[in-house]
Structure 1
Amino acid sequence: MTDSWVNETLYPDWGQRFRVKRELARVKSDFQDIMIFESFTHGRVMLLDGVVQITEADEFVYQEMLTHVPLLAHGDARRVLIIGAGDGGVLRRVLQHRNVERAVMVEIDGDVIRLAKEHLPGIAGDAWHDPRAQVIVGDGIHYVREAEAGSFDAIIVDSTDPIGVGEVLFTDEFYASSARLLSDRGLIVNQCGVPAMQADELRETSIRRAKSFADVWAYVAAVPTYVGGYMTLGWAAKDASLRTLPSAEIARRAEAAGVVGRTRYWTPEIHAAAFHLPPYIAEHLPRT
């Protein structure tokens, strides 16, 4: 029997590959090529246009840091908008916060949601059926353009890189619209790539976010299957004090929110430390 391998296509000259135990789905949607397979080492894996989006083995790192950091930094985020995140993992973590009253998720590709429900059910768990959740198959930039001013406390963007279907979520217009629909202490986070390989992505999106937000920075998470070292998560807030909380206060908020004991990567100490960036990453951010 000949081994079957999947090679990631993110970088032309460097990457990773997985040995495939079983292919589960291969679909060309209206927006992208979607593949889900069962690997020998990382459980089930989803690729979009040949790029790894999620694996069952390490999804918790990315999902926890993308969700718990902004919600606990805010401290009272009751209305949360999620853009992308069609696998449902971010929605699941948002709904772990007992103070969240409404979570709206807008994913442009309904096939991603459908295939995640079928082949990656453990990622979202019961989140799809939570009465606080509203799942919309639609265009995220259209949604933020039309949403009522001040209608959300936090926005979490879990998108592909700024090419193809995800490109519009890294524009001046998107960040300006996001600032408008956020409340007075609102904030937005989004993935900004692996700076060792994608420094331009972090630098350029930070410049764009700084046009609409008072406090622009980034924080890091070590996700094994995002090749290249630290993944940066872009941070833009109306209140600069939200990212300078001591770990003791973060721990108090996590206890109140009901998050304690439900994480495998996030801790109050990691939360606080994640904003202290190595110089090779910090040099790509606007000077404060």
Structure 2
Amino acid sequence: MDIIIDYFQSINPILAALLATLFTWGLTALGASLVFLFKTMNRAFFDGMLGFTGGVMVAASFWSLLAPGIEMSPGEGFIKVIPAVVGFTLGAFFLFGLDKVLPHLHVNFQMSEKEGIKTPWHKSTLLTLAITLHNIPEGLAVGVLFGAAAAGIDGASIGGAVALAIGIGLQNFPEGFAVAMPLRRQGLSKWRSFNFGQLSAAVEPIAAVLGAWAVLTFEPILPYALSFAAGAMIFVVVEEVIPESQQERFTDIATMGFIGGFIVMMTLDVGLG
């Protein structure tokens, strides 16, 4: 692992953010590729993985984003937390706006429950867009953290950025499968189901590069940018991930998955950061 961290420290932070999110995209594709091997998806396993996703995102929001953002903010007391409050609020409202505008359908929901602007788009497109909505703040978070570490900001490190990419990659694996398998059951070919599954993470490298570039170009926005990514991720967890995991009778499994995801992400961030 030290070799990997040393390598990322030696390259341009924007390139590092790109490579890290290509890794997370790759794990999404790997998850989607399971559609070539299986015909059905075990619901208990899936709900557990959804819970795991939520745990990873919540832990990353605090350990990788909010805590460094507060630490690098100037001032003391209530003044010190202002950038985190502003950034967190803006991030949540940004995802709130996307959620209301972008047509999408959550996994495990019926077509009558699709959200966003009304369109005649097929279910495959709507499912892909729902997971894409998850992945925007994840890619942004990785990029912002690589940019913050490269700028030498206290509380941000390349190890922490690598840990965040690993954690996001782990929870992306079931997301790819979660899109591909329902589409396969609807009659799409294995290849089309796979392509829709992996395509949902294509936005992560784009968001990561934009995030890294923004904080390197406008360094004073760093505390706001880190908190912005955290607010966006928490919104996704509360509005989408947790409700999706509570649709069936496996709520306890989903809850324990959440606990496991939180522990894994916290351990990665503290151990590598």
**TM-score of the two chains, using structure 1 as the length reference:** 0.27
**Structure showing the higher strand proportion among its residues:** 1
**Structure showing the higher helix proportion among its residues:** 2
